[in-house]
Amino acid sequence: MKNWFLTLAIVISSISAFAQGTIRGFVYDEETGEPIIFTTVFLKGTTYGASTDVNGYFSITKVKPGSYKLMVTYIGYDTASVYITIKGNEIINQKLFIKKSSIKLKTVDISAEKQELKTQVKMSVTKVTPKEISSMPSVGGEPDLAQYLQVLPGVVFTGSQGGQLYIRGGTPIQNKVLLDGLIIYNPFHSIGLFSVFDTDIMRNADIYTGGFGAKYGGRISSIMDITTRDGNKNRLSGKVSASTFGAKVLVEGPLSKPKKIGGSSSSFIVSAKHSYIENSAELLYKPFYQNLSESNPNFQTGGIDTTGLPYKFTDIYSKLSFNSENGSKINFFGFRYDDNVNYSGVSRLNWKSFGLGTNFVLIPGKSSTLIEGVIAYSSYGVLLDEFDGSPDSSSINGFNAGMTFTNFNGDNESKYGFEIQGFKTDYQFYNSVNRKIQQFQNTTQFAGFLSWRFNMKKLVLEPGFRIIYYASLTQFSPEPRLAAKYNISDKLRVKLATGMYSQNLVSSTSDRNVVNLFYGFLSAPDNLQSEFTDKNGNVKEVKHNLQKANHAILGFEYDVNNFINVNIEGYYKRFTQLINTNRNKLFDDNAANADVDDMLKKDFIIETGDAYGFDVVVKYQSTHFNIYAVYSLNKVLRWDGIQEYYTSFDRRHNVNFVGSYIFGEDLDWEFDVRWNLGSGFPFTP
């Protein structure tokens, strides 16, 4: 009996010795209650630590029993700390509140970013904050995400309708845009300088130009994941501003204030902006053309509206946030965006976008799992009425819902989740020979994904797998993903990523079009050719209606010193199947034309493509200078079954430079500069 008790005591002691706990929670700005994102929380005197995510959430796992000092530091804020005692397999929830510092720091703290570079692959992703957007010179004087995106590596801006962006060889329809988890179908206004997003309500934007993980899907080129901030939880405030091209108003404040620090609360934020470009531009355009006409009687405007720029838009966004004491929260949000273009006597374009949704973050009391979810509805409709032709119209509306579960295990992490999306497309379009292309369709798709992140000393491995079921097509699309990074030294890292991607949305425009005033949407069409001839002359059966692509990326990161970082990435995107509008359709697809070649009667045709190149990014960050320099080499080719051609957005060389000089006794003055140089497009005269 005595030996039995001795054995039991040894077992219990062994279990206690290996018992490990978890410290998790959120970091907030004490004044506004807004989460502090991408900063480091650590236990002083140990190697335990974690970075906060876009919700300000952190999780430090595998902590041995004992007493610790939990600390957080962030540039521009005072250091905050709290003493914590953890026992065994205990889970401790802890909120940290930090105050803005009254002393202007003379150094730049980028330790959290440096740590992420070593422990996460971070392939082809750029994190964009409102501060970075505001630091870049902007047309019209109002900082905007649309203008900032144009300086990112691999991004080509053609200046066509909607400020559409072509990312590493992909078209706008192949870019997925998420706002608080809701799908946005057109995030840019027609003038091409402004997005629908108010910079003042943004918290963060993650821009993936390729090789994105299993969490994301439904597009074959890129992802833009944008998160808005909550309203001020402690006081009512507002902002009114006006610029050359528009005005906006923002109001925010608490619905119920926290009764104690870290207590439950609720808040709201409302933003509205409206353009008066058509009025302000007239002051510039009219005198300009009058002077030209007076000095040159033979001057011809060529149909240009000499009274100004005939654009106007209105954007409204609102959000309600409810926060619990343990950090769980739920948001309700909605928006309405509209855009109008009226070229007198030539064409008229109008589009409207509307959306409602809710998202939540759930912190289970006795589990280390973080649960996130979204349920949303959005719609988009566009009408182009050209006075010398038939009107084109397109609409898409539907819902998307999903949940993501994240488990933390020391330096390792696992995610899994599911998504459901259903939408309806209604589309009518006339091609260059005035043949009508029309489709109405309902579709639903289901997706599930798994991903892991393993930190094994110098090696970081991020495998993943996503599977999508396209119900209307009765087709599965298995999509493996893999990313890896190896820390060669403390300063040099090599990384790679690869994956398979698919989508069933198609646009109404051709990749050969130079200017697109109309950008419609439709789900995977069935009016396709039955066979396709590849570049080697092999005739293959068309087996599915999806657009598909494979990505392969190899890169290097090098920290020259504490201020300079260099990132080089070479990429290859193989578009194994693309669906494009048939510009050569001459006949209706009916029994009378059964003998006519598919290339002359089908609404859409199959294509393949290749995009490859490399991006070089150099960042310099110090107390007085911030420099961001980018060089991109890019080549984009398409094969339509007959010939190979360069797309209208194939720009071989692109250089961007953004610089800031911060000065003054309190570092409260800033001088910014932006410069771009690019080679010509295939259509350049």
- Answer yes or no: is pLDDT of 47 > 50: yes
CA distance 175 to 409: 33
Q: How confident is the model at residue 414 (pLDDT cuts 50, 70, 90)?
A: very high
Q: Tell me the pLDDT band of 2, cut-offs 50, 70 and 90.
A: very low
167 vs 668: which has the higher pLDDT: 167
pLDDT at 207: 96
This prediction's pTM = 0.90
Nearest CA among 136, 147, 159 for reference residue 680: 159
Q: Residue 347: pLDDT band by 50, 70, 90 thresholds?
A: confident
Q: Can you tell me the mean pLDDT for 149-156?
A: 93
What does the pLDDT average to over 546-569? 96
The pLDDT value recorded for residue 515 is 54
Q: How confident is the model at residue 7 (pLDDT cuts 50, 70, 90)?
A: very low
Is the distance from CB of 360 to CB of 373 less than 8 angstroms?
Answer: yes
Would the pLDDT of 142 be above 90?
A: no
pLDDT, greater one: 177 or 6: 177
Q: Collect all residues with Cβ–Cβ distance below 8 Å to 287 and sequence separation of at least 6.
A: none
pLDDT at 302: 47
pLDDT at 17 over 50: no
Cβ burial of 177 (10 Å; 0-12, 13-18, 19+) is: buried
Lowest mean pLDDT among 244-253, 289-298, 463-472, 653-662: 289-298
pLDDT of 303 > 60? The answer is: no
DSSP-derived secondary structure for 527-540? ---SEEE-TTS-EE
**pLDDT tier at 386 (50, 70, 90 boundaries)?**
confident
Give residue 14's pLDDT: 39
More confident residue, 280 or 491: 491
Over residues 305-339, the pLDDT tens digits come to 555 678 889 999 999 999 999 999 999 999 999 99
Which residue, 330, 226, 335, is CA-closest to 270? 335
CA distance 153 to 138: 18
CATH 2.40.170.20 domain span(s) along the chain: 119-678
Which pLDDT band holds residue 159 (cuts at 50, 70, 90)? low
Q: Where in the chain is the domain with CATH 2.60.40.1120?
A: 12-103
Q: What is the pLDDT of residue 11?
A: 38
CB-based burial of residue 583 (10 Å sphere; 0-12 exposed, 13-18 middle, 19+ buried)? middle
Mean pLDDT throughout 560-564?
Answer: 92
pLDDT at 1: 45
Q: How many CB atoms lie within 10 A of CB 29?
A: 19
Cα–Cα distances (Å) from 337 to 272, 314, 426, 489, in that order, read 10, 6, 20, 49
Tracing tokens 């890896």 back to the chain, one arrives at 484
- What is the arrangement of strands in the sheet containing 80-86, beginning at the earlier edge strand? 49-51, 40-43, 66-73, 80-86
Tell me the two tokens of residue 142: 């109002």
Choose the CATH number for 119-678 among 2.40.170.20, 1.20.1440.230, 3.10.20.30, 3.90.550.10.
2.40.170.20
pLDDT at 308: 61
Cβ neighbours for 208, distance < 8 A, ≥ 6 positions apart: 124, 125, 216, 222, 223, 224, 225
| Stronger pLDDT, 288 or 165, i.e. the higher one | 165
Q: Check whether 19 has a pLDDT greater than 80.
A: no
Which residue would you say has higher pLDDT here, 297 or 124?
124
Mean pLDDT lowest among 104-113, 168-177, 456-465, 501-510: 104-113
- Per the document, the length of the chain is 685
Residue 96 and residue 79 in contact, taking contact as beta carbons nearer than 8 Å: no
Mean pLDDT of the chain: 86
Domain 12-103 part of CATH 2.60.40.1120: yes
pLDDT tens, 598-611?
777 777 889 999 99
Secondary structure of residue 172 in the 3-state scheme: helix
